Structure 1
Amino acid sequence: MKKFNTCIVVAFALLLAACSSLRLAYNNGDTLLYWWLDAYIDFDSEQKAEVKQDIDDLFRWHRKTQLQDYAQVLQHAQQQLKGNPTPADLLADYQDVRRRTQALLTKAAPDIAELALSLKPEQLEQMEKKFTKNNSKFRRENMRGDAEEQNKFRYKKSMEQFELWFGGFSREQEAAIRRASDARPLDNGLWLDERMRRQRNILSLARRIMQEKPSKEVAVGWINDLIRQSFERMDQGQRKPFFDTYTNSTVELVHTVIRISTPQQKEHAQKRMAGWIKDFSTLAAEQR
């Protein structure tokens, strides 16, 4: 059986964080992904070899079918950076990434169903413990101190990404970015509640599949329903105004960074993207 195509989203995020080591990280991504999964599920001796083989198959598929698409996304970003992208342009980019993510999850639903049908009660307990541990880390990092301290932490996390793309910023630029960062609504309690809700829904569905042992086709339908509901939640319901405001203010933050960037900083971002485009193209061409 094949397992967890969705985890490529996590693996890809790790690759981007690897910066200039993207090719090295991707070529070791099968091991990273296995460790990540095992931390949540704690595979038994019967599952380990099969999971590793499934991950190898996943990376071969991803290398062949997805990496050139990533290169095209970055090429589009390069063209935007040469001009003056508007907030509407950046919002469209966000919506595009969101659609791609949902499509990938939907494609993975049959594989997720097979994994869910193979889980054991103790593995669900391990997943629940891992969720609890992650939530404790979220509280320590994001909910420490008053609003000023939480805003400062959020700003620093954003700056790590902006500096990756654009290099260093002047004090004047940092002040402008900090103002745009702080303009985003701050409610870490809401974000924690949302992540815990998603975790409960995942565990609830996994327990239902374990108890009822439906056919694979029925399990796929349940999983697709959960995927759709998770994405629709941001577009409807009582918290939609908050989600809309947060998305628009985050887009404005990114727009501020691009707008105040110097030609040298934009050139830094262009070179960064060019390097990743080359890496993606090279990786896609390699046979493993």
Structure 2
Amino acid sequence: MDACLSTLFRCLSLLVLSTLLLVGCNRMDLAYRNLDVLVPWSLSDYLSMNRQQKGWLDERLKAHLAWHCRTQLPGYLTWLGDIRQMVAHNEVTDAQLRLRTEQAKQAIAEVADQIMPSATQLLRGMDDEQVSDMREAFAEDIREREAKYVKTPLARQIEQRQQRMEKRLTPWLGELNPQQRLRVAQWSQALGEQNRQWIANRAHWQAQFTAAMEQRRSEAFEPRLEQLLKQRESLWTPEYRMAYQRTEQEARSLLVDLMAQSSEQQRQHLQGRLAKVQQDFSKLKCLQS
């Protein structure tokens, strides 16, 4: 995600991300139960909220989480069941992954619609000093990411990308076999200079968000904010748009190949992990009530 408020989108839509098979979170149930604690900390990376703003946000988050669990989570459990069936019937294909991705994007869009009024109200209330602090935090964010992901030799970037992916995959598939590790290495190599394009696009978005915040008292602010937070793709740089399409295709291709190369033991392990996630969420108190 490319924004302070989009962190909230990402957290609230945690269950529906189409890359669920690649996420290294072992305790999603715990994360979900504590989103009202985690989200303000994420926001504070960019926004220096005062006590009144934090209190208001806490109450809004509780309301959003109650809505999310009541109206969205049952559909996510069905989605997880569909993923399990896809794996069980050996139907991890490009077409199936495209379908699951579109379902995930639609679910995320519904969450964005729900929290948009809260995002608008919170950001309208920021004073000039807070906006200045946000601008500095954005700049520091880009400097840190460039240092970590761009200013290292490309060969090292590719190696680190491979390592991160293997770390994400292992909890879901177990130890990768040599053929799978080779495939991950090929995937990482194929993405090339993706880090540079991703961070350049991030900086581009942050500049536009900062410009919008300078107009937060005007009538044009809300539609502009909606575009920034809900229609981010419309504001991507041309270079990143092409890179993202390639990245999405490479990710699907990677998953298809890894499952084709998987052992029966790995598939059983994956089924067990998916079943555990589904079971954990089905036991959430907000669903039981």
User: If the TM-score is normalised by the length of the shorter chain, which range does it land in?
Assistant: 0.7 to 0.9
Q: Structure 2-normalised TM-score? A: 0.85
Q: Structure 1-normalised TM-score? A: 0.85
Structure 2 residue aligned with 1:78: 84
Residue 257 of structure 2 aligns to which amino acid in structure 1? T
Structure 2 residue aligned with 1:275: 276
Moved more, 276-285 or 105-114: 105-114
Moved more, 4-13 or 239-248: 4-13
For 1:192-231, list aligned pairs within 5 A.
192-210=199-217, 212=218, 214=219, 219-227=221-229, 229-231=231-233
Residue 275 of structure 1 aligns to which amino acid in structure 2? K
After superposition, the C-alpha distances for 1:66-101 in whole angstroms (9 at most, x for unaligned) are 222221221111111122322222223223323332
Q: 2:39 aligned with 1:38, yes or no?
A: no
Q: Partners of 2:247 and 2:198 in 1: how far apart?
A: 11
Q: Root-mean-square deviation (CA), in Å?
A: 2.7
Aligned mate of 1:160, from 151, 157, 167: 167
After superposition, the C-alpha distances for 1:41-84 in whole angstroms (9 at most, x for unaligned) are 12113223222222222222222122222212211111111223
SS at match of 1:40: coil
Aligned mate of 1:25, from 31, 35, 60: 31
Residue 130 of structure 2 aligns to which amino acid in structure 1? Q
After superposition, the Cα gap between the structure-2 partners of 1:48 and 1:184, relative to the gap in structure 1 and judged at 3 Å, is closer
Alpha-carbon shift at residue 238 of structure 1 (Å)? 5.9
After superposition, the C-alpha distances for 1:211-260 in whole angstroms (9 at most, x for unaligned) are x3x3xxx54323233345422356x9465443322221221112221111
Structure 2 residue aligned with 1:242: 243
% identical aligned pairs: 21
Structure 2 residue aligned with 1:170: 177
Residue 49 of structure 2 aligns to which amino acid in structure 1? F
Q: Partners of 2:190 and 2:170 in 1: how far apart?
A: 20
Q: 2:106 aligned with 1:99, yes or no?
A: yes
After superposition, the Cα gap between the structure-2 partners of 1:255 and 1:116, relative to the gap in structure 1 and judged at 3 Å, is same
Q: Partners of 1:84 and 1:250 in 2: how far apart?
A: 16
Gaps of 5+ in 1: none
After superposition, the Cα gap between the structure-2 partners of 1:185 and 1:51, relative to the gap in structure 1 and judged at 3 Å, is same
Gaps of 5+ in 2: none
Alpha-carbon shift at residue 185 of structure 1 (Å)? 4.0
Q: 2:121 aligned with 1:114, yes or no?
A: yes
Structure 2 residue aligned with 1:186: 193
Q: Partners of 1:260 and 1:95 in 2: how far apart?
A: 25
Structure 2 residue aligned with 1:265: 266
Structure 1 residue aligned with 2:57: 51
Higher RCO, 1 vs 2 (CA within 8 Å, ≥6 residues apart) = 1
After superposition, the Cα gap between the structure-2 partners of 1:204 and 1:60, relative to the gap in structure 1 and judged at 3 Å, is same
Residue 223 of structure 1 aligns to which amino acid in structure 2? L
Q: Partners of 2:67 and 2:77 in 1: how far apart?
A: 16
Alpha-carbon shift at residue 268 of structure 1 (Å)? 1.1
